[in-house]
Amino acid sequence: MDLDALEAARVDALLASVCEDYFYTGSKYLVDYAGRYIPIDKSSLRYRLSKPLGEDSRGISDAVCTIEDNRYVSYCGPLAGRDRGLHRTADGASILATESPVVIKSRPGQWDKIRALLDGLFGDDEYDQMQFFLAWMKSARVAMLAREPSPAHLLALVGPKACGKTQLVQRVIKPAMGGRESNPAAYFSGGRFNGDLVKAELLVMDDETLPITPLARQTFKQRVKNFLYSAAPRIEAKGQDAFTFQGLWRAVVCCNLAEDDLRALPPVDSGTEDKLIFLKCSPAFDTRLDAEKFRHWCEMVKLELPAFLDFVENYEVASAIRGGRGGVKGWQHPGIMAEIHRNEGWRSLLELVDMADRSVRIEFNLPWRGTAKQLETILTEASETHRHARKLLDGYFNKCGTLLGQASRLSDRVYSGPAQDGYNTWRIEDREQVEQVEHF
């Protein structure tokens, strides 16, 4: 090897070792220093490079170019299910995890407080709900320990306010999953950006932020499926390059057992029933704890968590509920489904009415007055509503009238009127006008 080749090899080796601690994002440089990725500008970068390279301006310029060409990262920040360091996306781009999840180590021991919480929440005379929660928890924990993304059910905790749902999520599930949380409601409801979701393993939603409009609910259902079961969903943050990434995610919905709140859950159908677990929660505490007792309870749960995680990691999922891509079959508590079905018919009818009102191709405007048969004819013959209307109304004779009767009892938008040629008439108000009056 001649002298020029030796010099080139020496420079390449020097540049490789010098550039290893630096990254380029397209707008700034990062230096890996004392366990932190610190943003710096180009003048600071050149000054830092001058220490190992001396005052050789060409060598420093070559190092800067090497960093920009070979240490460019499309994203830098926390990454769901990834430890601190450089990673590759599904399509080969480099991304940088700036911190690791905090994973609690398990150990054998007692977990009486957590057991009491779970028994109180999931105790049921007819159904063994605990097995579904423990199976879901084991899938999440095993994936977290292995840093291995896997398909996962959306877990819905449905029960009265202050029953213990939030404490279960914040004191048990969240720390077991790395301690990072994000709210995906805006994206799952149809928003464009989801960059904040890549930063956390646990996605938590509640009934105050979940969608209730027909379009948003369908979007919610589809995005839950795509995000939790896709090999590598598209991640897009405002002002940053989009990339595909298979994160380690688990999603939880906390919902009250009330009509409007239940509508925030994703619809259960043939495409989603195996991807959803709905658990009915009961009050886990006999009485409300005062502040001091509550702090003591929280500390005890924190101390017991390693023992509970040891139990979860060694938990044997019953063969009867094994299956599916999430390792456990989907399941929805019949009590929750009965409550949903009790209310969804008349609500679905009003959703179709609103769809017809918004359409420029249907001769229909709110407020509207007429018979149930007239409304059924409009909805089942219009091109934009006929498919859903026929599915909803073809069940039995005068189902439209029955649903309007339910709506008149349960909604402020529907009123019964005088008979017309022997048939009952109905008046349906515009949703927005009713809401304006309610807020006045």
Interval 386-395 mean pLDDT:
83
Q: What is the pLDDT of residues 77-107, one digit of tens each?
A: 999 999 999 999 888 899 999 999 999 999 9
Strands 181-182 and 94-97: unpaired
Distance CA 85, CA 101 (A): 12
* Dihedral (Cα; 267, 270, 272, 275), 10-degree rounding: 140
pLDDT at 146: 95
Residue 116: per-residue pLDDT:
96
On average, the pLDDT of the chain sits at 87
Look at residues 203, 333, 225, 350 and name the one whose alpha carbon lies nearest to residue 275.
Answer: 225
Which pLDDT belongs to residue 1? 52
- Is 185:227 a contact under the CB 8 Å cutoff? no
Overall average pLDDT of the 261-273 stretch: 78
Q: Could you count the other beta carbons within 10 Å of the beta carbon of residue 421?
A: 6
Residue 440 has pLDDT above 50, yes or no: no
- In this predicted structure, the answer to whether residue 200 has a pLDDT above a threshold of 80 is yes
d(CA 156, CA 251): 9
The model carries a pTM of 0.77
Q: Is pLDDT above 50 for 345?
A: yes
Strand partners of residue 155: 252, 277
- The region, left, alpha or beta by phi > 0 then psi within -120 to 50, assigned to residue 179 is left
State the pLDDT at residue 437. 40
Q: What percent of the chain has pLDDT over 90?
A: 51
Hunting for tokens 């190992």 — which residue is that?
Answer: 52
**Across 9-18, 105-114, 148-157, 398-407, least confident range:** 9-18
Lowest mean pLDDT among 15-19, 62-66, 115-119: 15-19
CB 333 within 8 A of CB 279: yes
Both structure tokens of 43 = 């003048």
Q: Is the dihedral of CA 339, 114, 204, 135 positive or negative?
A: negative
Cα distances (angstroms) measured from residue 10 to each of 3, 47, 406: 10, 21, 82
Predicted pLDDT of residue 426: 96
Q: How many CB atoms lie within 10 A of CB 431?
A: 18
Q: Which domains does the chain have, with CATH numbers?
A: 3-72 (no CATH), 112-332 (3.40.50), 339-439 (1.10.10)
Q: Identify the band that residue 11 occupies on the pLDDT scale cut at 50, 70 and 90.
A: low
pLDDT digits (tens, 9 = 90+) for 328-344: 899 999 999 888 877 67
- C-alpha torsion 188→192→195→198, nearest 10: 30
What's residue 10's pLDDT? 59
Indicate if the pLDDT at residue 148 is higher than 80.
yes
Radius of gyration of the chain (CA): 28
pLDDT tier, 438 (very low <50, low <70, confident <90, very high otherwise): very low
The Cβ of residue 42 has, within 10 Å, a number of other Cβ atoms equal to 12
Comparing 7-16, 298-307, 358-367, 409-418, the range with the smallest average pLDDT is 7-16
Percent of residues, the chain, with pLDDT higher than 70: 91
22 near 72, Cβ under 8 Å? no
Q: Residue 241 has what pLDDT?
A: 80
Residue 278: exposure state from Cβ atoms within 10 A (0-12, 13-18, ≥19): buried
Q: Tell me which of 168 and 412 has the higher pLDDT.
A: 168
